[in-house]
Amino acid sequence: MPDDISDLDKNRTLAQWLEWQLRQTRSRIRELEIKEQQERRRREQTHAALRWKIQPQRSSSAALVHRGDCALYPAKGGFLNREEALIALAEPDIEPCQICRPETGLVDG
């Protein structure tokens, strides 16, 4: 039985299949990039939750100590460890945030 499919048709079919594979691979790469980005954010949030930060004093209010993940003062760096946060809270002109209550995490630790 003779081969009824020409070389041109075979190659067009192959090209379509390879293009489909490429679309599938690119889609999977996008999914993995999103997953990796979400995982990185989760790790950063978890790490920040275990640390503290100080919001500088304003003219009408005291400086505030926040939990590292408190949204009221979104600092990207300058985190304090537990000991430093305890020292800061002992200062008369530094108060704990009334929303995230950072002293709770310090007492429990």
Decide if 15 is inside a domain.
Answer: no
- And the tokens for 105? 């995490």
Phi-psi category of 58—alpha, beta or left, where left has phi over 0 and alpha has psi -120 to 50? Answer: beta
Decide if 88 is inside a domain.
Answer: yes
Decide if 79 is inside a domain.
Answer: yes
Range of the domain at 68: 50-108
Decide if 34 is inside a domain.
Answer: no
Q: What one-character DSSP code corresponds to residue 68?
A: T
Q: What one-character DSSP code corresponds to residue 10?
A: H
CB 94 within 8 Å of CB 63: yes
Decide if 30 is inside a domain.
Answer: no
pLDDT tier at 17, thresholds 50, 70, 90:
very high
Decide if 42 is inside a domain.
Answer: no
pLDDT tens-digit readout, 40-89: 999 988 887 788 999 988 877 889 999 988 888 887 778 899 999 999 99
CB 59 within 8 Å of CB 75: no
Domain count along the chain: 1
Decide if 87 is inside a domain.
Answer: yes
**Given this model, what pLDDT does residue 76 score?**
76
What is the average per-residue pLDDT within 7-19? Answer: 97
**Given this model, what pLDDT does residue 49 score?**
78
**Given this model, what pLDDT does residue 2 score?**
55
Query: Is the per-residue pLDDT at 108 higher than 60?
Result: no
